[in-house]
């Protein structure tokens, strides 16, 4: 859901993010609202990154200084598309688990979040 949407599309208790075909090779970012019931206007930045047939979701916040990761919209990977890259300090994270392998936060990890793809190919956020 974008910042301009008022109500997120839901399937059961999961928020619809997009169709799986909309997630590019370099990832796709979202700024969700309505994630925190006590703060419905709070923005929750996340991104999706494909790894083979799997899809992973992380908070779009670098564990080093709390900055967004992408250099430009929907571009979360390094030039070789092998690692997630922070545009602020060039930290590098594994796509599979968000673990930092290079940079100022080596040994720390991105916050991984639950997503699933339903039978229609829609990516759903939540457990």
Q: Which domains does the chain carry?
A: 10-122 (2.102.10.10)
**Mean pLDDT across the chain:** 91
Q: Per-residue confidence at 6, pLDDT binned at 50, 70, 90? A: low
pLDDT of residue 7: 75
What's this model's pTM, rounded to 2 decimal places?
A: 0.90
Contact 92, 37 (CB under 8 A): no
CA dist., res. 69 & res. 40, Å (int):
24
Average pLDDT for 34-60: 90
């Amino acid at each position: 859901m974008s910042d301009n949407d008022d109500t997120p599309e839901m399937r059961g208790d999961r928020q619809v993010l997009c169709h799986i075909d909309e997630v590019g090779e370099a990832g796709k970012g979202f700024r969700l609202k309505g994630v925190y019931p006590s703060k419905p206007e709070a923005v929750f930045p996340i991104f999706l990154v494909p790894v083979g047939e799997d899809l992973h979701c992380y908070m779009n916040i670098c564990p080093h200084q709390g900055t967004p990761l992408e250099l430009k919209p929907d571009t979360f990977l390094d030039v070789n598309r092998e690692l997630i890259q922070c545009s602020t300090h060039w930290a590098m994270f594994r796509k599979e688990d968000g673990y930092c392998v290079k940079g100022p936060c080596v040994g720390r990890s991105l916050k991984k979040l639950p997503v699933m793809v339903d039978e229609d190919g829609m990516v759903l956020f939540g457990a």
